[in-house]
Amino acid sequence: MAFIKLNDLEVEVEDGTNVVEAARQHGIEVPHYCYHPGLSRPANCRMCLVEPYVFFPPAGAIVPDRQLATGCTTVLRTAPPDRKLDGKYDFIVQTDSPRVKKAREDILEFLLVHHPLDCPVCDQAGECDLQDFSYRHGHDKSRYLEVKNVPPKKDLGPDVLLYSTRCIVCTRCIRFCDEVSGSGELGLIHRGSHDEIDIPRNHGGAPLQLLDNKLAGNVVDICPVGALISKDFLFKSRPWFMKKTNSICAGCSVGCNITLEYKEDGVYRLKPRFHGEINQHWMCDDGRLGYHYVNSDDRLQLPLKRVDGELTPTHWADALALITEKLLGTEAADVAPEDIVVIGSAQGTNEDNYVLQQFAHDVLKTTQVGLFGQLPGEEHKFPQFTIEADKNPNTAGARTILGAANGNVVLEGDALWERVAGAKVVYLVSGGPERPLEAAESAALEKVDFLVVQDVLPSDVTQLADVVLPGTTFAEKDGTFTNSTGWVQRIRKTIDAPGEARVDWEITQQLAKQLGGEMNYHFAGEIALAIAENVPGYGEATHQKVGDEGVKLT
Amino acid sequence: MSDEIIQIETPFQFTEENRLEFDKLMGRYPVKEAAMLPTLHLAQKQEGYISPAVMRYVAELLEVSLMKVKDVVTFYPMFFEEPVGQYVIRVCHTLPCALRDCKVVLEHLKTKLNTDVAAETDLAKGTTSDGRFTLMKVECLASCDVAPVIMINDDLHRNLTPEKVDEILDNLE
């Protein structure tokens, strides 16, 4: 640990911390643009200048250094005993001396030389570092009278637009493409004050390569100004009108930490949230843009039952009564517990699956428990990021919880479909984006007498069902997901489910109650407590302990 | 929408002689990327300008991204991204040359070659219709003591007057 004098504070920081981070840890803002904790540090924006103090032998005193230093590249380390300042400090630095404040004002004036005053129509307004730092650290007026450069607006790729006029050439996006995605599509063209970010183009301006790697959306997040803009979010909403909730991306089994931004009428965007051991500062575009199914107009809003071969909307009581009748009524004598297969979802939370497994074990008395989920995609590896092939957020958790709690064996793949083909009643929980069925899967499901499906969108699966119960997506419920590396992380309810759709574990519990089961959970956290008690390894995974950081399974 | 990428159809390749030259270059630098400038000059000497095919070829040779090459090419005004004339005439118009009447030299060249002065992004504007000459203004050529100066391809010509310009042009092939 290095002992630092930071303004008036005496603080200890880890060796190797830079001044910007050290100040941030102690609530002091050192404005910066080019510095990003996840990227290399060129120190080109000059915004984070701070005033280090040095020992000046002729005066025999500690004085401000002749030059200001960039906070991002000034690394704090323990000094040898004979080099301590004042006999105890490893470093003395001022972040708000008059000299520093003057420097910031002047740098901002330079950065704003070619910047247009188009905040009223700029997507970034409200979450713009240039806006914020100008307000807090800048001049109140510009002395620049010359004509401003007006470089053109450019289309860089499938989801990214560049408003070149707003760019302050911090080069974060270029470094991201060089270092994190490793694809190097971005660079600077021209020179000096004519510098522009661009993709490779021929002399006529037609693109030779597009910014179309699967991490491209991150350049929009790290852009400190409104230069790089996501087409998906363009002109959709002002940032301050959206509510923000910490959640987990449901796009694959990596489990990237995200901030889900939403209004009453739906999800507006997903932004990555830092987690040092899982996703760092990043997320992929598949996850980022994969939320649209949540807002879809096709979402299942009412339970459906099959009448004369057609799926027809009905009400909850009717739908649940139908299932109860099948399992308790006159025909029920034909259905033995081993004729029933209950299939949990890798899209569902640990809580959903725990209630489902309790339902299977305690109420239906069946040991036939399976696991269903999205079809696997492709794995993509980048220098500093991996997108996993398993497109479910909770395969690991669902597998453990469906299986471990009561010693059941969880059926998957061919074994599952073989078993399904011979079953009379199948209770299948799906969820997530529309899931196409493979030939063997639909053949097996077609053979089932009575198929109950919980899902969020009409799909191949619901097409084969006798009763469809509308469930919820990751944006509409509380719970936990377990990612592929064993991190249990929380998702939170943001928007209301459409129509009469209900949280999956509530549906299962309601049905269990009607069938005489004894289950009485009121909220997801309560189920998590039961999981912590009964599932090996999940002892620490209560909602309270999981929090925003997650808990790693032991 | 820019979801259509231009395909680079006519490939570029160093001639055998230039390839040997390039291999020699590689020995001079600790990393391949460092050889960017001389490699681009070599390629421009062969092709006349830096086409997309050249950029791609150089990027592959030096194992860098295409954008890194484009970056360098647009940074330096001595790399051309479009075809230029057989003789590129650079007229210095920085202060000492300006004081020594570079304007007269430039106007004389314009009339004689019957062409305009090239713009940085539009070299065709300064190229004669027969493709022999490209006329452009440049900043200091570092020969202020012998101003006004022009450079024709790699040769510097000093202390110019319209008469001297005529003589020089007549001596070109």
A169–chain B Cβ distance below 8 A for any pair = no
Q: Are residues A81 and A151 in the same domain?
A: no
Residues in chain A, total: 554
| Residue A266 falls inside a structural domain | no
Residue A320 in contact with residue A295, Cβ under 8 Å? no
B171/A contact by beta carbon, under 8 A: no
User: Mean pLDDT across chain B, nearest whole number?
Assistant: 93
Instruction: Return the pLDDT at B59.
Output: 96
Judged by DSSP in three states, A318 sits in helix
Mark whether A464 and A540 lie in a shared domain. Answer: yes
Q: Which of A154, A190, A199 sits opposite B67 (nearest CB)?
A: A199
Measured distance CA(A351)–CA(A106) in Å, rounded: 55
Q: Please give, rounded to a whole number of angstroms, the shortest distance from the CA of A185 to a CA of chain B.
A: 6
CA distance A135 to chain B (A): 34
* Residue B108 confidence (pLDDT): 95
Q: Do A203 and B81 touch (CB under 8 A)?
A: yes
CA distance B133 to chain A (A): 20
Which CATH number characterizes residue A65's domain? 3.10.20.740
pLDDT surpasses 90 at B114: yes
Both A150 and A37 in one domain: the answer is no
Look at A157 and B8 and tell me if their CB atoms are within 8 Å.
no
Architecture of the CATH domain B87-171:
3-Layer(aba) Sandwich (3.40)
In a domain, A130, yes or no: no
- Indicate whether A113 belongs to any domain: no
Residue A481 is assigned to a structural domain of this protein: yes
Residues A394 and A523 in one domain: yes
How many Cα atoms are found within 13 Å in the side-chain-facing hemisphere of A55?
Answer: 12
Q: Are residues A207 and A88 in the same domain?
A: no
Backbone angles phi and psi of A77, in degrees to 5: -140, 160
Q: Which of A239, A259, A279 is the last residue of a domain?
A: A239
And the tokens for B17? 């002689």
B101 touches chain A (CB under 8 A): no
Q: What are B86's two structure tokens?
A: 């057989």
Q: Quick one: closest CA in A to B52, which residue? A: A202
Are residues A69 and A210 located together in one domain of the fold? Answer: no
* Chain A residues lying within 8 Å of B81, measured CB to CB: 203
Classify residue A117: in a domain, yes or no. no
Q: Which of B36, B47, B74 to mutate to test the interface with A (most CBs of A within 10 A)?
A: B74
Cβ pair B91, B147 in contact under 8 A = no
Q: CATH 3.40.30.10: which residues of chain B?
A: 87-171
> Does residue B1 surpass a pLDDT of 50?
no
Point out the residues of chain A with pLDDT beneath 50.
Answer: none
CB contacts, 8 Å: B67 with chain A: 184-187, 198-200, 209
- How far, CA to CA in Å, does A253 sit from each of A215, A217, A270, A431, B130? 16, 19, 16, 15, 64
Q: Exposed, middle or buried, A66 (CB in 10 Å: 0-12/13-18/19+)?
A: exposed
The sheet that has A228-230: what strands, in order across it?
A153-155, A160-163, A228-230
Provide, as residue numbers in chain A, all residues whose Cβ is less than 8 Å from the Cβ of B56: 208
Residues in Cβ contact with B45 at an 8 Å cutoff, skipping those fewer than 6 apart: B18
- Using the Cβ of B47 and the Cβ atoms of chain A, whether some distance falls under 8 Å is answered with no
> Is B65 within 8 Å of A199 when comparing Cβ atoms?
no
Q: A-chain residues within 8 Å CB-CB of B2?
A: 154-157, 207, 210
d(CA A456, CA A303): 11
pTM: 0.93
b/e map B82-102, b = 16+ CB within 10 Å: bebbebbbbbbbbebbeebeb
Same domain, A95 and A151: no
Q: What is the ipTM of this complex?
A: 0.90
Determine how β-strand A49-56 pairs with β-strand A187-189: unpaired
Is the pLDDT at B2 greater than 70, yes or no?
no
Does some domain include residue A131? no
Amino acid identity, position A178: D
Residue B148 pLDDT > 90: yes
Q: Are A100 and A172 contained in the same domain?
A: no
Q: In this complex, which of A155, A157, A189 lies closest to B71 when CB atoms are compared?
A: A189
Task: Please indicate if any CB of chain B lies within 8 Å of the CB of A185.
Answer: yes
- Domain assignment of residue A24, yes or no: yes
Q: How far is A158 from chain B (nearest CA, A)?
A: 7
- Specify the number of domains making up chain A: 3
**pLDDT at res. A258:** 97
C-alpha to C-alpha distance for A510 and A506, rounded to whole angstroms:
6
- Determine which of A154, A202, A231 to mutate to test the interface with B (most B C-beta atoms within 10 Å): A202
Q: Who wins on pLDDT, A404 or B103?
A: B103
Q: Do the domain assignments include residue A253?
A: no
B16-75: which CATH topology? Answer: Arc Repressor Mutant, subunit A (1.10.10)
Say if residue A527 is in the same domain as residue A426.
yes
Q: Are residues A34 and A171 in the same domain?
A: no
Residues facing B134 on adjacent strands = B88, B127
Helix (H) or strand (E) holding A428: strand A425-429
Nearest CA in chain A to B75: A190
pLDDT recorded at residue A326: 87
- Identify the domain containing residue A527 by its residue range: 304-552
Using CA atoms, how far apart are residues A129 and A32, in angstroms rounded to an integer?
8
Which pLDDT tens digit goes with each residue over A431-486? Answer: 999 999 999 999 999 999 999 999 999 999 999 999 999 999 999 999 999 999 99
* Two tokens, residue A502: 């209900």
Residue ending a domain, among A79, A105, A131, is: A105
Of B52, B64, B75, the CB nearest to A202: B52
Q: Boundaries of CATH 1.10.10 in chain B?
A: 16-75
Q: Where a domain ends, among A105, A128, A158?
A: A105
A149 and A199: one domain?
A: yes
A168 & A98 share domain: no
Do the Cβ atoms of A184 and B65 come within 8 Å?
yes
Which H or E element spans position A327?
helix A316-328
* Residues whose CB falls within 8 Å of the CB of residue A544, separated by 6 or more in sequence, listed in order: A525
Q: For A221, list phi and psi in degrees, rounded to 5.
A: -65, -45
Place of tokens 């959206």: A242
